[in-house]
Amino acid sequence: MKILFFGDVFGKPGREALRHAIPQWKKEFEPNVIIANGENVSHGAGISDATIKHLLASGVHIITGGNHSFEGKNASILLNDASLPLLRPANMPSALPGRGYAFFGIKGNELRITNKPDDADLLVINLIGQVHMRYQYDSPFRVVDEILSRFSPSATHPPFPVIVDWHAEATSEKIAMGWHLDGRVAAVLGTHSHTPTADERILPKGTAYISDIGMVGPHYSIIGQEISANLERFLTQIPKKVDVAQAPPYEINAVLLETDPRSHKVVQLRRLRNIISDNLSHDN
């Protein structure tokens, strides 16, 4: 199975750049599954009906989340919509709307959510870190153990690829999760920092790992936000609302994974990055 995973899609520039990138990369790489982190898809923070629809219409099959998942007017309604392939981190308070992991079945080009692990072709788990985060989430290490123990009690790899969107800030916490899950999941893919890291690798027991995939968003920005206003916050230390940087060029960061049909481990891992200079807002 080939899986194309885009990091945090940031605001309109991210959405447009993603819409531009997917047809090209689909043709080039022929992925079976396309996943994108959507926590910043609506104005740089949160989700909305229109922006979730935009991602799905662009060809994204599964949308993961992070600390901004609950921002946006209808975020809770969207997260509670069982028909949407939308996740939020599993180690947030369990009473919150939405789900932290989901099974998917794949038939041809179609991918559907399934509640039956026996029918699953893929499991996607979304986790959030505890280091340098505003809230004290449950331990992602213990929560992921608990999830995996339900489907692979012997601590072996489950009978389908397991992809973890690991939404965290500190690279130390990130690589710790890589080692924690090595051999038990297909991939631990970092999101949240919006900055791609060059440390992609397949760990000794077969788990693909990268500290951060990087965002899909405006290249001339401070992690997606407009430069001068964001910089002013650092200079003055006065809180200020900062907009999405709109101007091109835009950067597109993703990873491409290929899993073995028998072992369900990753046999190929490739980091993808493209910077496009066109203004894409009039693209079809």
- The answer to whether the annotation marks 32 as part of a ligand binding site is no
Applying CB under 5 A, which residues contact Fe ion? 8, 39-40, 66-67, 192
Structure tokens at 157: 């790899």
- The answer to whether the annotation marks 39 as part of a ligand binding site is yes
- The answer to whether the annotation marks 115 as part of a ligand binding site is no
Q: Which is nearer to Fe ion, 67 or 152 (CB)?
A: 67
CB 174 within 8 A of CB 199: no
- The answer to whether the annotation marks 167 as part of a ligand binding site is yes
Q: Which residues fall within 8 angstroms of residue 265, CB to CB, at 6 or more apart?
A: 157, 161, 186, 206, 207, 259
Q: Which is nearer to Fe ion, 65 or 178 (CB)?
A: 65
Question: Per the residue annotation, which of 68, 157, 219, 264 is the catalytic one?
Answer: 68
CA–chain centroid gap for 231, Å, is 27
- The answer to whether the annotation marks 264 as part of a ligand binding site is no
Burial class (CB in 10 A: 0-12, 13-18, 19+), 90: buried
* Shortest Å, Cβ 28 to Fe ion: 26
* Shortest Å, Cβ 67 to Fe ion: 4
* Shortest Å, Cβ 150 to Fe ion: 27
CA–CA dist 217, 248 (Å, integer): 9
* Shortest Å, Cβ 40 to Fe ion: 4
Q: Which is nearer to Fe ion, 61 or 192 (CB)?
A: 192
* Shortest Å, Cβ 169 to Fe ion: 8
Q: Which is nearer to Fe ion, 69 or 259 (CB)?
A: 69
* Pairing verdict, β 208-210 and 216-218: unpaired
- The answer to whether the annotation marks 54 as part of a ligand binding site is no
Closest CA to 150 of 173, 118, 180, 177: 118
Q: Which is nearer to Fe ion, 6 or 103 (CB)?
A: 6
Q: Is 68 a catalytic residue?
A: yes
Supply the residues annotated as catalytic. Answer: 68
Q: Which residues are annotated as a binding site for Fe cation?
A: 8, 39-40, 67, 167, 192, 194
